[in-house]
């Protein structure tokens, strides 16, 4: 079924259309999803676009925007006797301000990689004498699983450190901050959960066209065409091109579970700053599963970026990874300096892996 | 990290499903798609062990058809 979304002939036609319909206007579109960046870079979509159309990556990688101080906190927790920290594979190498989870593991911390939070709960059931703390990180896509597991009633020795973040408040933050942005490609999987409505308010308020798109090359191209067309026609709505997975109202069960378990709070985005109402923390009645109250932790609200790292600018779409002075030199996926080079969905790591040896670059 | 993969449902037991991704079988929870009427043979998007949406193939066909029409005008 998906092969139809790679139909070369159709992609060619869409490309032509974009070229034709964008004549005389220049358009800067932001996407906020690591997987979109992967599709765009992997299939060389930027090379297909005319010069007047720019597609930039925004803060679409949850691992990249997790504050270093929170990584320190969880890494240090893993050093305590009887504590097991569980998390996703991408997170472990991200440098905090003092340490990372992988360093903590080398120093003897019990850090385990899990495929999902369900596995973390299972570990807690098996390791009864120990405290299992799940580093619960992710956007709206990942929050429902945490919510469902908390609602199911995990064992007493289980808790989470919630650093879940919400995409629409971050989009609004960028729109408000006056960056030059003409439209958005909204993240497909986040939208599977939140639906199309949250974007409608933003599109209307800031008069910016948006499109919810899937992850095949044709999805992204059609998304770009949709934004271009709206701009040309002086419109600003939200089009849903990913109807095969995204409903207007989103995933109602997931949304209900999230709001039962979590409340919205301000959150710190690494490299960007504090964004109002952009995070999720456990509601008071679930405080027994909240590592912050369980262990009496202080979550520092400070940010730190490695010296010379341009991640903050990269995450806002202001700087291209290639323009960071450390890119490909001091900072590579094997020896990452900034968080955007660590995560598989970090813009720098994607661009490094898939663009570096493209013929276009080799000619330079 | 928000990556969700399309997977085929091959078996269902209560709110658990056995799914197949590229020949590999694993388990997923159907708790978040309980209202979507998922049955064996359907495709779902799976994220960290949970199905988050049923993929509606007919919608994909329709949107492609609509675009094809738009693209062939003019
Ligand atoms: S190349 Fe490395 S240091 Fe520079 S912005 Fe990317 S991750 Fe940060």
B22: left (phi over 0), alpha (psi -120 to 50) or beta: left
- Chain B hits for A1, Cβ within 8 Å: 43, 55, 57, 60
**pLDDT above 60 (res A358):** no
What are the tens digits of pLDDT across the range B24-73? 899 999 999 999 999 999 999 999 999 999 998 777 677 777 777 777 76
Beta bridge partner(s), residue A84: A110, A132
- Whether residue A94 has its Cβ less than 6 Å from ligand 1: no
Q: Which of B60, B71, B18, B65 is nearest to A16 (CA)?
A: B71
The DSSP 8-state label assigned to residue A216 in this structure reads: S
What are the tens digits of pLDDT across the range A296-321? 998 877 667 778 889 989 989 889 99
- Chain B hits for A122, Cβ within 8 Å: none
Instruction: Return the minimum-mean-pLDDT range out of A44-53, A207-216, A323-332, A344-353.
Output: A344-353
Cβ-proximal residues to A359 (8 Å cutoff; 6+ apart), any chain = none
Query: Residue A362: its pLDDT value, please?
Result: 40
Q: Could you tell me how many residues make up chain A?
A: 364
Query: Residue A328: its pLDDT value, please?
Result: 92
Does A289 contact B at CB distance below 8 Å?
no
**pLDDT above 90 (res A202):** yes
Q: Is the dihedral of CA A143, A149, A153, A155 positive or negative?
A: negative
The whole-angstrom separation of Cα B43 and Cα B9 is 6
The whole-angstrom separation of Cα A214 and Cα B50 is 19
Arithmetic mean of pLDDT over chain A:
91
Span A111-135, average pLDDT? 97
* Helix segments in A130-238, DSSP class H: 143-152, 167-176, 188-194, 197-206, 217-232
The whole-angstrom separation of Cα A247 and Cα A191 is 8
The model's confidence at residue A2, banded by pLDDT at 50, 70 and 90, is: low
Cβ count within 10 A of residue A276:
12
Query: Residue A336: its pLDDT value, please?
Result: 87
Q: Which domains does chain A have, with CATH numbers?
A: 2-62+186-236 (3.40.50.11750), 68-166+250-295 (3.40.50.11740)
- Nearest-Cα residue of chain B relative to residue A152: B31
Cβ-proximal residues to B37 (8 Å cutoff; 6+ apart), any chain = B54
Query: Residue A165: its pLDDT value, please?
Result: 97
Residue B40 distance to chain A (closest CA, Å): 17
Query: Residue B22: its pLDDT value, please?
Result: 81
The whole-angstrom separation of Cα A340 and Cα A266 is 22
- Nearest-Cα residue of chain B relative to residue A15: B71
Phi, psi of A71 (to 5 degrees): -65, -40
- Whether residue A337 has its Cβ less than 6 Å from ligand 1: yes
Percent of chain A with pLDDT over 70: 96
Which of A64-73, A114-123, B20-29 is predicted most confidently?
A114-123
The model's confidence at residue A157, banded by pLDDT at 50, 70 and 90, is: very high
Which of A38-47, A155-164, A354-363 is predicted most confidently?
A155-164
Beta bridge partner(s), residue A186: A212
Task: Note whether A137 and A92 are within 8 A (CB).
Answer: no
Span A270-295, average pLDDT? 95
For chain A, positions 5-24, list CB contacts with chain B under 8 A. 5, 10, 13-14, 17
Query: Residue B73: its pLDDT value, please?
Result: 65
> Which of A305, A309, A339 most suits a substitution to test ligand 1, by most atoms within 8 Å of the C-beta?
A309
Query: Residue A119: its pLDDT value, please?
Result: 96
Nearest residue (CA) to ligand 1, atom 6 = A348
- Whether residue A331 has its Cβ less than 6 Å from ligand 1: yes
The model's confidence at residue A360, banded by pLDDT at 50, 70 and 90, is: very low
Query: Residue A338: its pLDDT value, please?
Result: 87
B43: left (phi over 0), alpha (psi -120 to 50) or beta: beta
The model's confidence at residue A3, banded by pLDDT at 50, 70 and 90, is: low
Q: What angle do CA A329, B2, A220 make, to 5 degrees?
A: 80
The model's confidence at residue B2, banded by pLDDT at 50, 70 and 90, is: low
Task: Note whether A160 and A282 are within 8 A (CB).
Answer: yes
Query: Residue A361: its pLDDT value, please?
Result: 44
The whole-angstrom separation of Cα A351 and Cα A278 is 27
- Kindly determine whether residue A142 and residue B47, on different chains, have CB atoms separated by under 8 Å: yes
- Kindly determine whether residue A187 and residue B55, on different chains, have CB atoms separated by under 8 Å: no
- Kindly determine whether residue B71 and residue A13, on different chains, have CB atoms separated by under 8 Å: yes
The whole-angstrom separation of Cα A154 and Cα A3 is 41
Beta bridge partner(s), residue A161: A135
- Whether residue A342 has its Cβ less than 6 Å from ligand 1: no
């Amino acid at each position: 079924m998906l092969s139809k979304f790679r139909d070369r002939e159709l992609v060619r036609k869409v490309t032509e259309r974009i070229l034709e319909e964008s004549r005389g206007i220049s358009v800067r579109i932001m996407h906020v999803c690591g997987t979109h960046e992967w599709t765009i870079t992997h299939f060389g979509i930027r090379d297909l676009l005319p010069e007047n159309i720019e597609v930039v990556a925004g803060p679409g990688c949850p691992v990249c925007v997790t504050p270093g101080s929170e990584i320190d906190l969880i890494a240090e927790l893993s050093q305590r006797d009887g504590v097991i920290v569980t998390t996703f594979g991408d997170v472990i190498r991200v440098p905090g301000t003092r340490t990372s989870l992988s360093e903590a593991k080398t120093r003897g911390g019990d850090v385990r990689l899990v495929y999902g939070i369900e596995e973390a709960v299972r570990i807690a059931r098996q390791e009864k004498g120990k405290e299992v703390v799940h580093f619960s990180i992710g956007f709206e896509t990942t929050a429902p699983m945490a919510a469902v597991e908390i609602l199911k009633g995990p064992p007493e020795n289980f808790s989470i450190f919630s650093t879940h973040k919400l995409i629409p408040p971050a989009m609004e933050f960028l729109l408000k901050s006056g960056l030059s942005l003409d439209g958005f490609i909204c993240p497909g999987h986040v939208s599977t959960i939140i639906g199309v409505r949250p974007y409608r308010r933003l599109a209307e308020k800031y008069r910016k066209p948006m499109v919810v798109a899937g992850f095949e090359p044709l999805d992204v191209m059609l998304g770009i065409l949709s934004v271009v067309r709206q701009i040309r026609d002086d419109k600003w709505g939200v089009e849903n091109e990913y109807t095969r997975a995204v409903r207007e109202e989103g995933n109602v069960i997931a949304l209900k579970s999230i709001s039962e378990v979590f409340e919205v709070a301000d959150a710190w985005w690494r490299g960007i700053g504090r964004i109002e109402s952009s995070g999720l923390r456990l509601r008071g009645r679930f405080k027994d599963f909240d590592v912050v109250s369980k262990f009496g932790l202080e979550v520092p609200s400070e940010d730190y970026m490695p010296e010379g790292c341009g991640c903050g600018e990269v995450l806002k779409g202001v700087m291209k990874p290639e323009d960071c002075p450390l890119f490909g030199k001091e900072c590579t996926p094997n020896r990452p300096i900034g968080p955007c080079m660590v995560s598989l969905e970090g813009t720098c790591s994607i661009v490094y892996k898939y663009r570096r040896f493209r013929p276009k670059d080799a000619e330079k | 990290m928000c990556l969700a993969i399309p997977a085929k449902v091959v078996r269902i037991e209560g709110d658990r499903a056995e799914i197949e991704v590229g020949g590999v079988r694993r388990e997923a929870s159907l708790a978040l798609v309980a209202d979507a009427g998922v049955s064996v043979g359907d495709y779902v998007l799976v994220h960290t062990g949970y199905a988050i949406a049923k993929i509606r193939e007919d919608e994909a066909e329709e949107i492609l058809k609509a675009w094809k029409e738009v693209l062939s005008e003019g």
